[in-house]
Amino acid sequence: MSVRAKQAVAIAVGLVIAAVMMWLGVWQMSSYEESTRDVSAERAAEPATPLADAVSADGEVQDVYGKRVTFTGEYLPEYEVTVGESAPWRVLTAMRLEDGRHIAVVRGALDPASVEDGIPAPPPGVHDVEAIFLAPDLPGDGGGTEVADMRTVRIQELAQEWPSPLIGGYVTLHGSDSEAQGLAEAELVLPAAEGSPTHRGYALQWWVFATGGIAFGLYTAHQLGKDEKKRLAKTPAD
């Protein structure tokens, strides 16, 4: 076999090894992402926690973001905004809790085209609520052509106009509860979870190996070329 053929084989082997390692890295990262989704789903499926126990009097929130909470309160329809950068908008209404604190509640979603008909009013009276507790949203990216009252749920901004004290987070009602209030189900974006760091570490490891595979193939081909040059240099000319 000629030197060039050997070099081609060495590079091909390195590329094959790299392709396998890249595939393993992608598979491992998929496992990491899946574990992240599992963690978020598991948190949302845990037994509900009383909100009064999860948020201290000074406003400190325990590890309940992305989990179900329960509380009792009364809607304040005069404190209501729509949220979103594009359809459908979320309907965010203040609720006064039994202990005098307040929380922002995403009652559901609606199409901006139907706003002319008015947003369905929240049910009067005191209600027992079970919903997913979420941290304030990140600032919007400025996209969308029909912007609601707010681009994202920003508790700090609401606190300037809504009654206080206002809990540092908001809840999103279950789809059936939204439908009962004449609204569509609001999209529930669970917080990003850490998942298993083992999967992520293995993914990075496989990609490093892939780089090594390519480097090995190129190095071997280079060495074969050097060895051939040395052999020719030692061979007497005819």
Digit-coded pLDDT (tens) for 28-37: 676 666 555 5
Question: Does pLDDT of 68 surpass 80?
Answer: yes
Would you place residue 99 in the very low, low, confident or very high pLDDT band (cuts 50, 70, 90)?
very high
Output the pLDDT for position 194: 47
Output the pLDDT for position 36: 55
| pLDDT digit string, tens, across residues 126-157 | 999 999 999 998 776 554 446 789 999 999 99
Question: Does pLDDT of 90 surpass 90?
Answer: yes
Structure token pair of residue 59: 């406003």
Task: Provide the β-strand partners of residue 127.
Answer: 73
Q: When comparing pLDDT for 177 and 221, which is higher? A: 177
pTM: 0.64
Output the pLDDT for position 189: 73
User: 149: closest CA among 93, 204, 205?
Assistant: 93
Task: Return the domain boundaries, the chain.
Answer: 3-40+195-234, 67-180
Question: Does pLDDT of 21 surpass 80?
Answer: no
- d(C-alpha 208, C-alpha 203), whole Å: 9
Output the pLDDT for position 195: 47
Q: At what angle do helices 197-234 and 3-45 cross, to 10 degrees?
A: 170
The residue written with tokens 């400025």 in the block is 142
User: 166: closest CA among 107, 109, 92, 108?
Assistant: 92
Question: Does pLDDT of 199 surpass 60?
Answer: no
Q: When comparing pLDDT for 196 and 177, which is higher? A: 177
Would you place residue 94 in the very low, low, confident or very high pLDDT band (cuts 50, 70, 90)?
very high
User: 83: closest CA among 151, 182, 154, 171?
Assistant: 151
Please, which residues have CB within 8 angstroms of residue 161's CB and are 6 or more apart in sequence? 79
3-state secondary structure the chain: CCHHHHHHHHHHHHHHHHHHHHHHHHHHHHHHHHHHHHHHHHHHHCCCEEHHHHECCCCCECCCCCCEEEEEEEEEEEEEEEECCCCCEEEEEEEEECCCCEEEEEEEEECHHHHHHCCCCCCCCEEEEEEEEECCCCCCCCCCCCCCCECCCCHHHHCCCCCCCEEEEEEECCHHHHHHCCCECCCCCCCCCCCCHHHHHHHHHHHHHHHHHHHHHHHHHHHHHHHHHHHHHHCCCC
> CB-side exposure of 156: number of CA atoms within 13 Å?
4
Would you place residue 73 in the very low, low, confident or very high pLDDT band (cuts 50, 70, 90)?
very high
| pLDDT digit string, tens, across residues 201-234 | 666 776 677 787 778 778 787 777 777 677 767 7
| pLDDT digit string, tens, across residues 31-54 | 666 555 556 667 777 888 999 999
- d(C-alpha 187, C-alpha 175), whole Å: 9
Structure token pair of residue 75: 């809607």
